Amino acid sequence: MMKPSILFLIIVASSISSSTADLIRVEYEAEVRTVTNAPFGNVAPMGTLVAGYFVYDTSIPDTYVISTPNLGAYVHAGTGEFEAVFPTMTITGSKAHTVVINDTIFSDTFRIVDGERDSGFEGGIMKVNGAANENVELDLSITAGGSTFSSDAQPNPFSLTSPESPYPNPNTFTLSDENGILSLQLIRVYFPRMYVPVDSVSYSTPDDLVTLLWQQETGKNYSVEFSATLSEWTTIASGISGGTFMDMLPARDSPEVPPLSGFYRVFE
């Protein structure tokens, strides 16, 4: 096996949190499960993986506050965000979507609708690869047990995250244009990751051993990701309660690959 002779390390620090003031940001991963006709030029066949996020604003008032006490509708005007990143396409929201909360005894539902639509809920003009398209529509709906929400207010914090895959809550997620409909299934729903700065990196021979050290906080666990390209990351360790991690480089090399160049990052 060729010994790695080049190693690049990236240490990422981030202060992103799940909320900033009244804005709640939630990230997700999903998979295309059905394709009806030829939406978006057939660039996302069944099995396509999608990643993205949505943002809603808890300061928005409920437009249904008097007439329907168990149903809340929150019409955004510039503070609502949505993004779905496909391998060859990115769909973004209008920033004017409506969040709908249905709080009943038996089930609770969180829903986002966007696009020029006849659903009874307001939305704006969405974009495909940065270009406005008045035919694009979004309908994302997650349902959970009736005790999940305590009212029809927008949840703060968002209470439907899950690190499990597949995602345990029933959901309906569609993106459509004038040519057809993509139906997706949520795989994971989570808050943005908190990346931590690494204090020191050491490399020792002949073991080809890399050691990362960072400041640990009591009660927190950490995970380590590795990437050879910076575009695709793989979690190589998780549940680390301390502030150190050691990696054997030969496990990430093969005779078919040139001397290894790789990237690490640590997150909570």
Query: How does pLDDT run across 163-172, given as a tens digit for each residue?
Result: 777 899 999 9
Same domain, 203 and 103: no
How sure is the predictor about 112, in pLDDT bands with cuts at 50, 70 and 90?
A: very high
Mean pLDDT along residues 145-154? 92
Q: pLDDT tens, 170-190?
A: 999 999 999 999 999 999 898
78 pLDDT above the threshold of 60: yes
Pick from 190, 225, 251: which residue ends a domain? 190
pLDDT at residue 43, rounded to an integer: 94
Pick from 139, 160, 190: which residue ends a domain? 190
Same domain, 96 and 183: yes
Same domain, 185 and 205: no
Q: Using CA atoms, how far apart are residues 21 and 98, in angstroms rounded to an integer?
A: 19
Same domain, 239 and 216: yes
Half-sphere exposure of 209 (CA within 13 A, CB side): 8
Is there a domain that residue 251 lies in? yes
Is there a domain that residue 165 lies in? yes
At 205, the amino acid letter reads: T
Same domain, 117 and 210: no
Q: Please indicate whether residue 10 or residue 266 has the higher confidence score (pLDDT).
A: 266
How sure is the predictor about 254, in pLDDT bands with cuts at 50, 70 and 90?
A: low
Same domain, 217 and 111: no
12 pLDDT above the threshold of 50: no
Among the listed ranges 32-36, 130-134, 258-262, which one has the minimum average pLDDT value?
A: 258-262
Same domain, 153 and 204: no
Q: Using CA atoms, how far apart are residues 228 and 259, in angstroms rounded to an integer?
A: 11
Mean pLDDT along residues 47-73? 88
Same domain, 185 and 203: no
pLDDT at residue 13, rounded to an integer: 41
Among the listed ranges 15-24, 138-147, 158-167, 231-240, which one has the minimum average pLDDT value?
A: 15-24
Is there a domain that residue 11 lies in? no
Burial of 32 (0-12, 13-18, 19+ CB in 10 A): buried
pLDDT at residue 65, rounded to an integer: 67
Among the listed ranges 138-142, 164-168, 227-231, which one has the minimum average pLDDT value?
A: 227-231
Mean pLDDT along residues 240-266? 72
Give the structural domain span for 254.
Answer: 198-267
How sure is the predictor about 261, in pLDDT bands with cuts at 50, 70 and 90?
A: low
Spatial CB neighbours of 185, under 8 Å, sequence gap ≥ 6: 30, 31, 33, 166, 167, 171, 173
CB 79 within 8 A of CB 55: yes
pLDDT at residue 192, rounded to an integer: 81
Among the listed ranges 39-43, 101-105, 124-128, 201-205, which one has the minimum average pLDDT value?
A: 201-205
Mean pLDDT along residues 109-114? 96
Is there a domain that residue 5 lies in? no
Pick from 190, 212, 246: which residue ends a domain? 190
pLDDT at residue 171, rounded to an integer: 95
Same domain, 73 and 140: yes
State how many domains the chain has: 2
